[in-house]
Amino acid sequence: MLTRKQHELLSFINERLSTSGISPSFEEMKEALDLKSKSGVHRLISALEERGFIRRLPNRARALEVMKMPEPSAVKGEAKADNIIRPDFTRATKIANDVVEIPLHGRIAAGLPIEALEGQSSLSVPAALLGSGEHYALEVSGDSMVEAGILDGDYALVRRTDVARDGEIVVALIDDEEATLKYFRREGSMIRLDPANRNHEPQRYPPMRIRIQGKLAGLLRRY
């Protein structure tokens, strides 16, 4: 399933290739999707490549080939809010006396923000790790929360909520496009997202740019 931005980029590339036979530049993609930086384009390209929708042609700059287009049912709606993580909590069903199955929704950055990915798989979790409320899981990518014991490859178990108190570790959605796992703090009129790694800097945003998607309820680590 593609996010709205992924589908927009795939359609833009496909249309440009159909009309001119030449892939658009990263700058053209950034402007077409109204992204703030080319790094957002790189993330979208990588996600489409991983899912087999496009491939990069070797030894040719800017060369992309569209391998397939998604079925209509595999594309999110057109509203901007469709990039928000919306876990399917009807799938959080008990599969044993002490184990539950919760939705697993892609990867989340514990370093620089990355696009929030929608997933279709699930994760089996000991019920004791969750407590009350509705939950989903995200795979951690990055090292900025290592001093809080959150490592790359861990699964963050997140309780759904749209509010947070200072000092809580939250899933914060930035500009309705990118999500990150950080400590939540208020700093005057700004929201500050703090890492737990002295090599990373805090991130500050006006409140209207941040949505709380949940707060950390537990961690699952596989060895």
What residues are labeled active site? 144, 182
- Residue (of 145, 162, 168, 149) closest to 216 by Cα position: 168
Angle, helices 4-20/38-50, rounded to nearest 10 degrees:
90
What lies within 8 Å, CB to CB, of 150 at 6+ separation is 110, 140, 156, 169, 181, 196, 216, 219
- Residue (of 21, 23, 18) closest to 41 by Cα position: 23
